[in-house]
């Protein structure tokens, strides 16, 4: 989603709920957040669902997870209150910041951080894939039964049936090390985003190396799962 599209969607939300400005929308959503007790099901489902569609990760992941209901919770470095939802498909909890959904600059920042987490373990992913095909030029995909070769049709996946999906690993890592977005500043090196703090890079690489549950699967299976 580019900035123009994001701006247009915000305008549509304002019109739909008879709000005049983005500031008024922010205040309205903040009131919903603060007035609902922790864990309580929130009545204002429609507007939260529309806000969620502005999330930086909505088009690639969240749109496969239709919300059943929304609630509030607390957590993170500063015990912040934020929204969550339970999806209809897996009945799992997912959490999001409404301010990040409304603020396009935050969306860009989140995308850069997400890219840095991916980019800094690229060598581990490549090594795993090459090792997987080290003895046989072809293998069988454990999910689809299709024949795999060491090419672009074979993806290295963080096992989406385990507790260690890539998303969960990032969440666990940041919680374990008491990190938030302010700690995860990024920079662009050779056209890819990495962390400015090399200590965080090393910590993440070590954590991923020890805890990742990787598997080689066919691309057709990898792209249809949200994690």
The domains of the chain are located at: 3-102, 107-222
- pLDDT tens digits, 69-96: 999 999 877 788 999 999 998 898 999 9
Q: What is the pLDDT averaged over residues 25-38?
A: 97
CA distance 80 to 100: 14
Tokens of 2: 């580019």
Q: What is the pLDDT averaged over residues 121-127?
A: 96
Query: Do 149 and 138 form a contact (C-beta atoms < 8 A)?
Result: yes
Does the pLDDT value for residue 225 go beyond 60? no
User: 218 burial class (0-12, 13-18, 19+ CB within 10 angstroms)?
Assistant: buried
Q: Please list, residue by residue across 117-137, b when 16 or more beta carbons sit within 10 angstroms of its beta carbon and e when fewer do.
A: bebbbeeebeeebeebbeeee
Cα distances (angstroms) measured from residue 185 to each of 111, 116, 198: 12, 9, 11
Residue tagged 């993806």 (tokens): 155
Per DSSP, the three-state class of 186 is: strand
Q: Read off the pLDDT band of 192 (50, 70, 90).
A: very high
CA distance 4 to 45: 26
Q: Read off the pLDDT band of 20 (50, 70, 90).
A: very high
- Using only the alpha carbons of the chain, give its radius of gyration: 20
Query: Do 84 and 73 form a contact (C-beta atoms < 8 A)?
Result: yes
- pLDDT tens digits, 98-115: 998 999 888 888 889 999
pTM above the 0.75 mark?
no
Size of the chain, expressed as the number of residues it contains: 227
Q: Read off the pLDDT band of 46 (50, 70, 90).
A: very high
Per DSSP, the three-state class of 138 is: strand
């Amino acid at each position: 989603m580019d900035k123009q599209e994001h701006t247009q969607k915000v305008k549509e939300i304002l019109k739909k709920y008879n709000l005049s400005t983005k500031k008024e929308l922010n205040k309205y959503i903040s009131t919903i957040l603060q007035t609902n007790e922790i864990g309580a099901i929130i009545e204002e489902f429609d507007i939260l669902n529309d806000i969620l569609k502005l999330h930086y990760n909505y088009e690639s992941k969240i749109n496969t997870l239709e919300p059943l209901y929304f609630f509030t919770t607390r957590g993170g470095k500063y015990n912040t209150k934020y929204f969550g939802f339970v999806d209809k498909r897996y009945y799992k909890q997912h959490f999001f910041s409404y301010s990040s959904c409304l603020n396009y600059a935050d969306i860009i920042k989140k995308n850069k951080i997400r890219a840095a987490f991916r980019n800094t373990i690229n060598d581990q992913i490549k090594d795993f894939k090459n090792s997987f095909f080290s003895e046989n030029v072809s293998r069988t995909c454990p999910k689809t039964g299709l024949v795999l070769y060491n090419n672009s049709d074979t993806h290295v996946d963080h096992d989406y049936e385990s507790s260690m999906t890539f998303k969960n690993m990032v969440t666990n890592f940041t919680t374990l090390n008491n990190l938030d977005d302010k700690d995860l500043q990024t920079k662009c090196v050779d056209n890819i985003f990495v962390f400015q703090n090399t200590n965080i890079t090393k910590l993440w690489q070590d954590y991923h190396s020890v805890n990742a549950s990787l598997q080689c699967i066919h691309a057709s299976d990898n792209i249809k799962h949200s994690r």
